[in-house]
Amino acid sequence: MQYKAVIFDLDGVLVFTDKYHFKAWKKLAEKLSIDFTEKDNDRLRGVSRAESLEIILEKYKGKPTSEAQKQEYLAEKNDTYRQFLGDMNRNDVSDVVRDTLKKLRESGYRLAIGSSSKNTAYILERTELTDAFDAVADGTMITKSKPDPEVFLKAAELLRETPSNCLVVEDADAGVTAAHAAGMDAAAIGAATKSQRADYNLEAFSDLLRIL
């Protein structure tokens, strides 16, 4: 086997919480009269909450934002986002995703999460996915988010696996860059397939069963 472990990004790969991130940021942006499009949202994929706010504020035409005000905006965005998460359940993970994860494990691969999100544990719990993984590395354990490799190196460390034995599955260009910086191959799905920078492009999640 070329790989021994698979590290999955969460938002936009296993669950479509990326649309909830967009809606929550959009609500804040509208309040601040900032034009915020789906294209802008692509820049936020894989990027931490605080860095995402900085990107959104690039288009803000008002006075410079104080640190205290930024903290309020971050809390506000996360409150809106968590309301969407609260409505999630098992059905928010497709049968194809669940079935593919199960088959990979049965084939002997170790599976981990590598996500910048500090809401990872909550999402896994809501969707009953926690037990599908051998390790979880998330935004609560790192100081630098993607494109920095820290979260993927953390996942490999938790799995006690060498980076070159790990394949990363990502929907973000920042995540593909992070995987390569960690010395790992990357399989792109969704938005990240456009840039053609990954080692594999997946049309469907189940395509993983052809690569692995």
Chain contacts with ligand BG6 (rule: CB under 6 A):
10-11, 21, 44-49, 52, 78, 115-119, 139, 172
* Catalytic residue status for 9: yes
What does the angle CA 24 – CA 26 – CA 31 come to, to the nearest 5 degrees? Answer: 105
| Residue with Cβ nearer ligand BG6 (77 or 180) | 77
> Which partner in ligand BG6, Mg ion, none is near 117 (CB below 5 to 8 A by kind)?
ligand BG6
Q: Measured from the CB atom, is 16 or 200 closer to ligand BG6?
A: 16
Neighbours of 160 (CB within 10 A): 10
| Residue among 9, 18, 148, 173 flagged as catalytic | 9
114 binds Mg ion (CB under 5 A): no
Min separation Cβ 187 and Mg ion, Å:
13
**Contact between 92 and Mg ion (CB under 5 A)?**
no
Is residue 12 within the footprint of Mg ion (CB under 5 A)? yes
- Is the distance from CB of 155 to CB of 183 less than 8 angstroms? no
Identity of the residue, 108 or 192, whose beta carbon is nearer to Mg ion in the bound complex: 192
Closest contact distance (angstroms) between CB of 172 and ligand BG6 is 6
DSSP notation for 61-94: -SSPPPHHHHHHHHHHHHHHHHHHHHT--GGGS-
Contacts of 195 (CB under 8 A, 6+ apart): 173, 176, 188
The b-or-e profile of 80-109 (16+ CB within 10 A means b, else e) is bbeeebeebeeebbeeebbebbeebeeeeb
- What minimum distance in Å lies between the beta carbon of 45 and Mg ion? 5
Candidate residues 171, 174, 179, 208; the one interacting with Mg ion per rule CB under 5 A: 171
Judged by CB, which is closer to ligand BG6: 5, or 14? 14
- For residue 6, the one-letter residue type is V
Distance between CA atoms of 94 and 21, rounded to whole angstroms? 19
| Residues tagged active-site | 9, 11
Binding site for Mg ion (CB under 5 A): 9, 11-12, 171-172
